[in-house]
Structure 1
């Protein structure tokens, strides 16, 4: 089965690709390799497979999105990449080095801004640098002194419209302003790979659209390596170079989409008929996986009622 909707084959999009920014081939190892990850949780009476042979890559300077049904294990995969969980099988590699189970290699932005209420906007933005492992901090000479770090952070706050709020506390900021501060905290962390876990899900539709455009502008200037979780297919198509579509639990990669639209991208791309054809196709894929997940949950509930009692404590299997 082709992964391309009608009239969106690579041949039909080649001409448009040529009008965008040229693709640079690099022999450098990927910023991230997720290789054959398996994970299952043992929960009281039953074994719950969550991830099954999940593999993906993020090249240096690439924006990759991960979409899948709710409960399919996307955030769990982030925990494995960040070293909070260790898989039963598979490896996590960053720039060619095996870092499975190790922490401190990624910068992270959660669904909620998670700003400390007792710290100013500036001090919250600096938090990622303060908590970075020494080997990462030492590798970035621009962070040689606290004065230099604070000056750079102030310059960034000015660029994103938060300069007048550098000394303000989080409760005085709007939702969009808090998200911008949280993103800057991840951006200014010395780790090259950024994991963004549905960072705009709590925002209203208008603020979310504004934040998407803001993120596009910031990322296109800096080209950090990004792995982005979202439930919005439109958001994934707008922001990404490549999209991995996960199946229902236990999650595996069922589709890989190389987004055919050139950069720089602006909101008007969402009106392109080909954009909407992709959106319809991916929505159909997600509906199919959602139906599978709903059916699987019913089967799992019935299996749990029939399975023998497990006398052991809850543990990761």
Structure 2
């Protein structure tokens, strides 16, 4: 990604903007029953600022391990994690995270759950200054209203449907001060209809702020519908098999999933995944 400020003497000057996330040659292995289990094998990928990137790959290939490394919960044996050009390998507090399950605290109200990420960030030394509670609360209530949750601010998680809880979890990640959002199969537990609604909702919300997103999913159609690029990972130990650029204009239309170009990319990724499954059965 380039920006070109004007220079009065020599004309436009190219200034390189570092990616929001740059994963460089990660190698990770664990000891299991006195044997070495290799999980990541030289994995590299990038997420540019304001870009939505999806990852698909076989179950157990190491996608969650990758997220743990990006979040600073694990350190690789080799490789680097850079954010905005700075080395952050093994450091915590640089990302916002949305897990598969909403993971809302049942004793906190909906608005207090949304504010949680900001409260945690204010207690760390790794983030930018966090807005005062009154200001953060006003913003949270405004967002809750914009996503159809007006009137539920003082409700508790058990009073909301699964889809509504996922909206709260996403807003919690969205309103955290970190630029990079990691979404770990956030819709996998939802029924098909609710999942479709949440995909559309996520697209609409993301279009408003264009945060940098790395999104794990097993659903190929979901990856192509949401993302600018899709990384296809191999079996464990995971490496990048293919990088698919998604050419469809934004904002994305629901009908795009029926277009020949969309179906062809979906078929190709499915074929790559099938080949990886066959390799796993034969190994």
> Same fold, TM exceeding 0.5?
yes
Distance 1:66 1:293 in 2: 19
- What CA RMSD, in Å, does the superposition of the two structures yield over aligned residues? 1.0
- Mapping of residues 113-128 of structure 1, within 5 Å: 113-128=102-117
State the Cα distance separating 1:248 from its structure 2 match.
Answer: 0.6
2:225 pairs with one of 238, 248, 261:
238
1:293 corresponds to 2:280: yes
1:183 corresponds to 2:170: yes
State the Cα distance separating 1:134 from its structure 2 match.
Answer: 4.3
Distance 1:162 1:206 in 2: 19
Which runs of at least 4 in structure 1 moved beyond 2 Å after TM superposition?
A: 24-27, 293-296
Distance 1:268 1:204 in 2: 20
Q: Contact (CA 8 Å) 1:32, 1:59: kept in 2 or not?
A: yes
Which secondary structure does the structure 2 equivalent of 1:60 belong to? coil
- Return 259-268 or 193-202, whichever deviates more: 259-268
1:136 corresponds to 2:127: yes
Match of 1:60 in 2: 49
Match of 1:70 in 2: 59
Q: Contact (CA 8 Å) 2:94, 2:126: kept in 1 or not?
A: no
Distance 1:292 1:62 in 2: 32
Match of 2:188 in 1: 201
- Mapping of residues 1-317 of structure 1, within 5 Å: 25-26=2-3, 27-132=16-121, 133-138=124-129, 143=131, 145-296=132-283
Which secondary structure does the structure 2 equivalent of 1:131 belong to? helix
Count of aligned pairs between the two proteins: 269
Q: Contact (CA 8 Å) 2:2, 2:17: kept in 1 or not?
A: no
Greater Rg by CA = 1
Q: Contact (CA 8 Å) 2:93, 2:126: kept in 1 or not?
A: no
Post-superposition Cα deviations, 1:290-314, rounded to whole Å, max 9, x if no partner, equal 1222333xxxxxxxxxxxxxxxxxx
Distance 1:293 1:65 in 2: 22
Which secondary structure does the structure 2 equivalent of 1:257 belong to? strand
Which secondary structure does the structure 1 equivalent of 2:127 belong to? helix
Query: Normalized against structure 2, the TM-score is what?
Result: 0.93
State the Cα distance separating 1:135 from its structure 2 match.
Answer: 4.6
Q: Contact (CA 8 Å) 1:129, 1:137: kept in 2 or not?
A: no
Distance 2:253 2:165 in 1: 23
Higher relative contact order, chain-length normalized (CA < 8 Å, sep 6+): 1
State the Cα distance separating 1:252 from its structure 2 match.
Answer: 0.4
Distance 1:176 1:294 in 2: 36
Q: Extract unaligned runs of 5+ from structure 2.
A: 4-15
Post-superposition Cα deviations, 1:42-71, rounded to whole Å, max 9, x if no partner, equal 112311110000000000000000110000
Distance 1:168 1:160 in 2: 15
